[in-house]
Amino acid sequence: MKHPAKELGAWLKTRRQRHGLVARVFAGQIELGPAEYAEAEAGVVRWIGPDQEGLICQMLALSPAERQVFLKLLTEARAATPLEFSDLYTREQLEPVRLRRDGRKRLTAADKKAIVDAVFAPLA
């Protein structure tokens, strides 16, 4: 799926890796938690506020041209329809692998399906 927020996340990840920065460390440098930054790279832009905009530009030492690209991507991502949970994760990614039931019995296919269906159920 091509979405401006995912494009921004991929751009951020590429720039961060180019500078040899670990995601957890970079998150702290831009005043985000590791989970928030992971979501930002996945396409959730609500964590990137004005403070983070400036810190990202500073920590990645963006040139004026790169800064312009970053701000353009960020503006497009904020203007786009927010991503849904199912846009970020596939059912296969969230399927339990080693979960067991009472008595250490393995899950059946129906049990796994019920768990994944609950995860992807719309919130009321």
Which secondary-structure segment (H or E) carries 74? helix 64-79
Block residue for tokens 């920590």: 59
Q: What is the mean pLDDT of the chain?
A: 89
Model pLDDT, residue 71: 96
Higher pLDDT, residue 31 or 106? 31
**Which domains, and CATH codes, for the chain?**
4-84 (1.10.260.40), 89-120 (no CATH)
Work out the average pLDDT over 41-67: 94
> Looking at the predicted structure, is the pLDDT value of residue 76 above 90?
yes
Coil/strand/helix, residue 107:
coil
> Looking at the predicted structure, is the pLDDT value of residue 100 above 90?
no
Q: Which amino acid is at 42?
A: A
d(CA 13, CA 86): 21
Model pLDDT, residue 114: 86
User: H helices then E strands: how many in the chain?
Assistant: 7, 0
d(CA 23, CA 109): 35
